[in-house]
């Protein structure tokens, strides 16, 4: 019995803070009792910090009871037994920002329990930075409003008159599903919905998880915009959340929403939004004043008290998984959230993930299909070029050269896809076999031609760099082999810059544009390039994955996949699935519009018989997914097992390896003793093995039952607390192995 507490006259309150410890902290209060969800400033050591009052009983009542899989979660709410009354400090002032929505608090609590992140750290990481800073809540002078109060005052001012017409619509919610008002608002340019789109829209009206499997160019975006419009006009309060993989890659999507929802303020949330603007949007959304939100994964945890519909475009995309801090999946959290607040969830993709197919098979999700392109054009035929029979000299087979030539003769456009940045993957010495390597990461450093050097006037001196694609470090190219002194150094393999050079040599008359992360650093610039392609100012586009997503090119006749075999051989069990998705997307760029002569897709490969290419040939997305599912089931891999990775690093490889090995043995024996059915593999090195001078390794923890997995994770957390020098972290449902 904590005697200090029982004799303490001070009532305690729990406050969630961004601190690197599992526990929430406890403070005393006087006067009016702070309520669950109140934002406050509290003393922490010598600092003042922003936190949120949390009442564990309300949290449990709101749904937190279902977190039983994580036995230690509630333990973090207990005041420590040795908490001395003298150490309890009084809570500071309540902030003027609105009390947090209770359902939102449960969402963050679930994320914290599931992804094994301290509740306070999880919660505060979602609050915009600008609102986390106590000075923005404090008046600069006595009696003057604080910066936050000023912002809030501005928000409560009447909206500009421009939106009056829309307010009239909103004040008269229609009982019908599509209100008369919204029909008259329909822009004249939109064609009527086809039957498949209508069926999809009708299905989404039912609460549940819906999978919209639509071939590239089938009009999924139209379903998104119409679904949003329907809901926003039907009910004057409802809010809609649209998640996209990368805002920079989807300018077309955002403008489609703006067109469909004239007069609505749409919040666009992504990493390039300024901190103050993010705070402003966050507050407006949290108060229900902004009802349409489009954002990247970080938007998945925006407080939306009237959330009615969540839509996730390209739901299979790896960018929905956060790779640092709380390693959450925006898609998986959205599934939980939609279920919890009884909203509808729409998962859209041309290539749904294996996880999603598995849920369809279990009958948990509903399948909706858009099997035809909106333009009515059949998919462009795919053919494979066997590189052993028709070698890709300079990166291009004779078949590819002939087809590109034919397209150019006909005045069309060709897209050459190679998902490898730089000029060549490595620089090597022909005498001793030395290969360029990043000094820190110990992986190949990539030969790049500087972007400025593309202009003929630049001198060759600074033309070449060696760049590490993991840590970003770049160094000048060596003239002599550092190992044997030979000057005969040559680039090995081919990146997209080198392919561009070949294309310029083979097709000197063609207008060629390269699109990759080196030539296009901002979303805006990408938009400009895409417009130039659309206007027909380019004959050949050569580029990386950046080109694959979301763009509807009006006159792309031919797509050539130059080399995708490397990804095929990647040992990560998810690599083929990702490659298949990318290739289907890239292939879908070809021949989307009528009147294109000889539309087609050529894939150059050394492995034409590989299963993946055979399914690609038939554009059989479902068949491929079923084959992958059968493999995963047979090998006990996700989604047929639950998995977590414990990652650790240390300056000494031996130290890290033996610590991980000891933990592995300890966990394995604890599992045997307690009859917990969990498999623990490792330690295995991560890729790259060394980063910033630290060796990196991981243990893989796997079970058929989520509860068993989490039981082991509780033990791992104890180890992490006592092994902070290994900089350990947990990744639940890791997607990169």
Q: At its nearest, how many Å lie between Zn ion and the CB of residue 475?
A: 10
Q: At its nearest, how many Å lie between Zn ion and the CB of residue 5?
A: 51
CB nearer to Zn ion: pick between 336 and 434: 434
Which of the ranges 208-216, 471-479, 546-554, 627-635 carries the binding residues for Zn ion, by CB under 5 A? 471-479
The token pair that represents 354 in the structure block: 């294996």
Q: At its nearest, how many Å lie between Zn ion and the CB of residue 522?
A: 24
The token pair that represents 45 in the structure block: 């050591």
Q: At its nearest, how many Å lie between Zn ion and the CB of residue 499?
A: 24
Which of the ranges 188-196, 432-440, 527-535, 576-584 carries the binding residues for Zn ion, by CB under 5 A? 432-440
Query: How many chain residues touch Zn ion (CB under 5 A)?
Result: 14
CB nearer to Zn ion: pick between 47 and 479: 479
> What is d(CA 555, CA 539) in angstroms, rounded to the nearest whole number?
10
The token pair that represents 162 in the structure block: 């421009």
Q: How far apart are the first and last CA of the chain?
A: 46
Q: At its nearest, how many Å lie between Zn ion and the CB of residue 101?
A: 43
Distances (CA, A) of 392 to 295, 490, 493: 41, 19, 12
Q: Which of 641, 554, 568 is nearest to 608 (CA)?
A: 568
Helix (H, G, I), strand (E, B) or coil at 44: strand
Q: DSSP letters along 229-263, please? A: HHHHHH-SS-EEEEE-S-GGG-HHHHHHHHHHSTT
| Helix axes of 220-234 and 251-260: crossing angle, nearest 10 degrees | 40
CB nearer to Zn ion: pick between 380 and 468: 468
3-state secondary structure 540-587: EEEECHHHCCCCCCCCEEEEEECCCHHHHCCCCCCHHHHHHHHHHHHH
* Binding of residue 730 to Zn ion (CB under 5 A): no
CB nearer to Zn ion: pick between 362 and 479: 479
Q: At its nearest, how many Å lie between Zn ion and the CB of residue 246?
A: 24
Q: Which of 630, 643, 633, 650 is nearest to 697 (CA)?
A: 650
By CB atoms closer than 10 A (0-12, 13-18, 19+), residue 508 is exposed
CB nearer to Zn ion: pick between 99 and 442: 442
CB nearer to Zn ion: pick between 54 and 443: 443
* Binding of residue 202 to Zn ion (CB under 5 A): no
CB nearer to Zn ion: pick between 244 and 441: 441
* Binding of residue 127 to Zn ion (CB under 5 A): no
Residues 6+ apart with CB under 8 A from 142: none
Q: At its nearest, how many Å lie between Zn ion and the CB of residue 725?
A: 22
* Binding of residue 431 to Zn ion (CB under 5 A): yes
Q: Which of 29, 69, 336, 434 binds Zn ion (CB under 5 A)?
A: 434
* Binding of residue 35 to Zn ion (CB under 5 A): no
Kindly state the DSSP code that residue 718 receives in the 8-state scheme.
H
* Binding of residue 483 to Zn ion (CB under 5 A): yes
Q: Which of 236, 471, 510, 627 binds Zn ion (CB under 5 A)?
A: 471
Helix (H, G, I), strand (E, B) or coil at 506: helix
Q: At its nearest, how many Å lie between Zn ion and the CB of residue 444?
A: 10
How many residues does the structure list for the chain? 737
Site string for Zn ion, 376-405 (x = CB under 5 A): ------------------------------
CB nearer to Zn ion: pick between 350 and 443: 443
Site string for Zn ion, 486-515 (x = CB under 5 A): x-----------------------------
Q: At its nearest, how many Å lie between Zn ion and the CB of residue 471?
A: 3
CB nearer to Zn ion: pick between 470 and 679: 470
Residues 6+ apart with CB under 8 A from 678: 667, 671, 701, 702, 703, 708, 709, 711, 712
Which of the ranges 313-321, 421-429, 521-529, 571-579 carries the binding residues for Zn ion, by CB under 5 A? 421-429
Q: At its nearest, how many Å lie between Zn ion and the CB of residue 696?
A: 12
CB nearer to Zn ion: pick between 35 and 692: 692
* Binding of residue 426 to Zn ion (CB under 5 A): no
The token pair that represents 94 in the structure block: 């309540």
Q: At its nearest, how many Å lie between Zn ion and the CB of residue 474?
A: 10
Which of the ranges 174-182, 422-430, 643-651, 654-662 carries the binding residues for Zn ion, by CB under 5 A? 422-430
* Binding of residue 692 to Zn ion (CB under 5 A): no
CB nearer to Zn ion: pick between 19 and 478: 478
- 8 Å CB contact between 94 and 149: no
Helix (H, G, I), strand (E, B) or coil at 422: coil
Which of the ranges 76-84, 244-252, 467-475, 582-590 carries the binding residues for Zn ion, by CB under 5 A? 467-475
The token pair that represents 487 in the structure block: 């000057």
**Across-strand partners of 307?**
239
Q: At its nearest, how many Å lie between Zn ion and the CB of residue 691?
A: 7
> What is d(CA 693, CA 706) in angstroms, rounded to the nearest whole number?
35
Kindly state the DSSP code that residue 299 receives in the 8-state scheme.
G
The token pair that represents 720 in the structure block: 């992490």
Q: At its nearest, how many Å lie between Zn ion and the CB of residue 479?
A: 12
* Binding of residue 468 to Zn ion (CB under 5 A): yes
The token pair that represents 262 in the structure block: 């004239």
> What is d(CA 245, CA 38) in angstroms, rounded to the nearest whole number?
32
CB nearer to Zn ion: pick between 127 and 444: 444
CB nearer to Zn ion: pick between 247 and 489: 489
- 8 Å CB contact between 605 and 382: no
Which of the ranges 113-121, 248-256, 430-438, 667-675 carries the binding residues for Zn ion, by CB under 5 A? 430-438
Decide the pairing of beta strands 694-703 and 678-691. antiparallel
Q: At its nearest, how many Å lie between Zn ion and the CB of residue 445?
A: 7
> What is d(CA 258, CA 341) in angstroms, rounded to the nearest whole number?
26
CB nearer to Zn ion: pick between 23 and 445: 445
* Binding of residue 444 to Zn ion (CB under 5 A): no
Q: At its nearest, how many Å lie between Zn ion and the CB of residue 674?
A: 42
> What is d(CA 729, CA 134) in angstroms, rounded to the nearest whole number?
29
CB nearer to Zn ion: pick between 252 and 490: 490
Per-position b or e across 659-695, b if 16+ CB within 10 A of its CB: bbeebbeebeeebeeeebebbbebbeebebbbbeebb
Q: Which of 481, 562, 603, 644 binds Zn ion (CB under 5 A)?
A: 481
* Binding of residue 484 to Zn ion (CB under 5 A): yes
Q: Which of 144, 155, 432, 569 binds Zn ion (CB under 5 A)?
A: 432
Q: At its nearest, how many Å lie between Zn ion and the CB of residue 624?
A: 34
CB nearer to Zn ion: pick between 483 and 570: 483
Distances (CA, A) of 659 to 698, 719, 720: 11, 10, 11
* Binding of residue 271 to Zn ion (CB under 5 A): no
Q: At its nearest, how many Å lie between Zn ion and the CB of residue 404?
A: 36
Per-position b or e across 430-465, b if 16+ CB within 10 A of its CB: eeeebebbbebbebbbbbbbeeebeeeeeeeeeebb
* Binding of residue 440 to Zn ion (CB under 5 A): yes
Residues 6+ apart with CB under 8 A from 457: none
CA atoms within 13 A on the CB side of 55: 13
Which of the ranges 388-396, 483-491, 500-508, 540-548 carries the binding residues for Zn ion, by CB under 5 A? 483-491
CB nearer to Zn ion: pick between 151 and 446: 446
CB nearer to Zn ion: pick between 15 and 438: 438
* Binding of residue 429 to Zn ion (CB under 5 A): yes
Q: Which residues of this chain interact with Zn ion, rule CB under 5 A?
A: 429, 431-432, 434, 438, 440-441, 468, 470-471, 481, 483-484, 486
């Amino acid at each position: 019995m904590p005697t200090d507490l029982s004799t303490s006259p001070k009532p305690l309150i729990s406050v969630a803070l961004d601190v690197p410890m599992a526990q929430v902290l406890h403070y005393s209060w006087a006067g009016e009792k702070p309520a669950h969800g109140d934002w406050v400033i509290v003393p922490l050591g010598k600092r003042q910090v922003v936190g949120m009052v949390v009442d564990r009983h309300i949290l449990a009542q709101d749904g937190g009871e279902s977190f039983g899989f994580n036995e230690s979660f509630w333990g973090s709410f207990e005041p420590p037994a040795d908490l001395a009354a003298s150490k309890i400090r009084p809570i500071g002032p309540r902030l003027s920002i609105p009390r947090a929505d209770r359902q939102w608090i449960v969402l963050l609590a679930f994320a914290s329990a599931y992804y094994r992140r301290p509740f306070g750290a999880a919660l505060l990481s979602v609050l915009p930075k600008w609102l986390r800073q106590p000075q923005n809540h404090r008046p600069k002078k006595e009696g003057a409003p604080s910066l936050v109060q000023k912002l809030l005052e501005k928000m409560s001012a009447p909206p500009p008159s421009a939106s009056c017409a829309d307010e009239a619509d909103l004040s008269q919610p229609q009982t019908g599903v599509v209100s008369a008002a919204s029909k008259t608002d329909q822009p004249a340019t939109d064609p009527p919905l086809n039957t498949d789109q209508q069926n999809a829209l009708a299905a989404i009206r039912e609460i549940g998880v819906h999978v919209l499997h639509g071939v590239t160019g089938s009009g999924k975006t139209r379903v998104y915009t119409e679904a949003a419009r329907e809901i926003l006009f039907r009910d004057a309060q409802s809010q809609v959340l649209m998640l996209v993989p990368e805002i920079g890659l989807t300018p077309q999507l955002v403008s489609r929403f703006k067109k469909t929802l004239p007069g609505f303020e749409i919040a666009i949330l992504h990493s390039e939004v300024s901190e103050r603007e993010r705070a402003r949007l966050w507050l407006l959304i949290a108060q229900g004043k902004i009802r349409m939100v489009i954002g990247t994964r970080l938007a998945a945890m925006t407080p939306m008290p009237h959330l009615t519909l969540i839509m996730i475009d390209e739901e299979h995309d790896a960018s929905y998984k956060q790779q640092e801090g709380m390693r959450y999946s925006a898609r998986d959290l959205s599934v939980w959230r939609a279920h919890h607040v009884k909203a509808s969830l729409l998962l859209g993709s041309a290539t749904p993930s294996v996880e999603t197919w598995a849920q369809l098979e279990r009958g948990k999700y509903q399948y909706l299909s858009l099997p035809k392109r909106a333009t009515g054009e059949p998919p462009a035929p795919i053919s494979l070029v066997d590189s052993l029979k028709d070698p890709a000299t300079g990166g291009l087979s004779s078949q590819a050269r002939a087809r590109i030539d034919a397209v150019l003769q006909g005045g069309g456009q060709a897209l050459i896809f190679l998902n490898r940045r730089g000029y060549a993957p490595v620089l090597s010495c022909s005498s001793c076999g030395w290969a360029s390597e990043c000094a820190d990461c110990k992986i190949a450093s990539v030969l790049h031609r500087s972007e400025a050097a593309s202009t003929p006037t630049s001198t060759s001196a600074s033309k070449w760099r060696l760049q590490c694609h993991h840590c970003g470090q770049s160094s000048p190219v060596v003239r002599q082999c550092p190992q044997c002194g030979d000057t005969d150094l040559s680039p090995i393999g081919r990146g997209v810059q080198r392919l561009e050079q070949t294309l310029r040599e083979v097709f000197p008359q063609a207008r060629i544009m390269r699109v990759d992360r080196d030539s296009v650093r901002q979303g805006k610039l990408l938009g400009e390039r895409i417009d130039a392609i659309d206007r027909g100012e380019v004959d050949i586009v050569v580029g990386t994955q950046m080109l694959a997503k979301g763009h509807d090119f009006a006159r792309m006749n031919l797509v050539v996949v130059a080399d995708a075999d490397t990804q095929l051989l990647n040992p990560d069990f998810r690599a083929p699935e990702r490659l298949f998705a990318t290739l289907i997307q890239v292939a879908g760029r070809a021949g989307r519009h009528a009147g294109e002569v000889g539309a087609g897709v050529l894939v150059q490969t050394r492995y034409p018989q590989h299963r993946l290419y055979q399914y690609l040939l038939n554009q059989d997305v479902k068949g491929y997914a079923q084959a992958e599912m059968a493999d995963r089931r047979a090998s006990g891999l996700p989604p047929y097992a639950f998995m977590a990775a414990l990652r650790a690093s240390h300056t000494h490889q031996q130290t890290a390896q033996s610590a991980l090995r000891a933990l592995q043995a300890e966990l394995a024996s604890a599992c045997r003793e307690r009859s917990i059915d969990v498999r623990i593999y490792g330690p295995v090195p991560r890729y790259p093995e060394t980063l910033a001078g630290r060796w990196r390794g991981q243990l893989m923890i796997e079970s058929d039952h989520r509860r068993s997995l989490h039981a082991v994770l509780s033990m791992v957390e104890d180890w992490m607390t006592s092994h902070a020098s290994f900089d350990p972290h947990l990744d639940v449902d890791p997607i990169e192995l």
